[in-house]
């Protein structure tokens, strides 16, 4: 499956919204094609390089499909779009086209079947509720109504201020329960750091 890629300094997760401002010709063309064909594009985290200008030098091998759900012209005259994360994928091969757009051959990744929330997920659910109410997040319209572990894991992994490499590792995990367990470990380490316990 060929998928156009949009390398960003962001890790997108399934079911999570992302607002983008499009101004480069290669991405305006890509968005136009995606909208005409009713298809998505791939968001991959940049490992080395920049979002603007030449194609990013290196990006993560795991990414998330972005489906366009809304678009509008911004006050600055640029195109603004809102996408939502859909399926995860693995990049097999990628090539940079003459217009600097990256096209990749990808395999879609299967997620383990989502499980209902457990009693042990209550702390993480409360944390998500606090994050969703934060002024910087509330504009995204991410609800705190969560009915399974996959939704909870994806939203937390997306919203928490973790380094991109940790987010990519979380995106790589197929099992939502494993993703939640990993998040718990990362949060405990973060808490120890904040308490000066090293």
pLDDT in tens, 5-38: 999 999 999 999 999 999 999 999 999 999 999 9
Mean pLDDT, the chain, whole residue set: 90
Fold for 119-194, please state it: LON domain-like fold (1.10.4060)
Q: Which sequence spans correspond to the domains of the chain?
A: 2-108, 119-194
pLDDT of residue 190: 84
Q: Please tell me the CATH superfamily of domain 2-108, with its number.
A: LON domain-like (2.30.130.40)
Per the structure block, which two tokens stand in for 141? 């319209």
The sign of the dihedral angle between the CA atoms of 177, 183, 134, 129 is: positive
Nearest-5° Cα angle at 157, 155 to 161: 115
What's the residue count for the chain? Answer: 198
How far, in Å, CA of 150 to CA of 88, rounded? 13
* pLDDT tens digits, 155-188: 999 999 899 999 999 999 999 999 999 999 999 9
Neighbours of 161 (CB within 10 A): 7
Which has more pLDDT, 115 or 107? Answer: 107
pLDDT of residue 195: 83
- Token pair 């702390």 is found at 123
């Amino acid at each position: 499956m060929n998928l156009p890629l949009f390398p960003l300094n962001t890790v997108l997760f399934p079911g999570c919204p992302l607002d983008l401002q499009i101004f480069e010709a290669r991405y305006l063309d890509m968005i136009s094609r995606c909208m005409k064909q009713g298809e998505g594009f791939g968001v991959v985290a940049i490992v080395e390089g920049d979002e603007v200008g030449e194609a990013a030098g290196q990006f993560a091998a795991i990414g998330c499909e972005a489906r366009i759900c809304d678009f509008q012209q911004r006050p600055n005259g640029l195109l603004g779009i809102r996408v939502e994360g859909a399926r995860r994928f693995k990049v097999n091969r990628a090539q940079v086209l003459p217009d600097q757009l990256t096209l990749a051959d990808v395999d879609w990744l299967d997620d383990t079947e989502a499980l209902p929330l457990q009693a042990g997920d209550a702390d993480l659910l409360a944390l998500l509720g606090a994050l969703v109410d934060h002024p910087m997040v509330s504009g995204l319209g991410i609800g705190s109504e969560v009915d399974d572990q996959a939704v909870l894991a994806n939203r937390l992994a997306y919203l928490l201020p973790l380094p991109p490499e940790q987010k990519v590792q979380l995106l790589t995990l197929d099992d939502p329960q494993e993703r939640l367990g990993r998040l718990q470990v990362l949060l405990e380490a973060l808490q120890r750091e904040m308490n000066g316990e090293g």
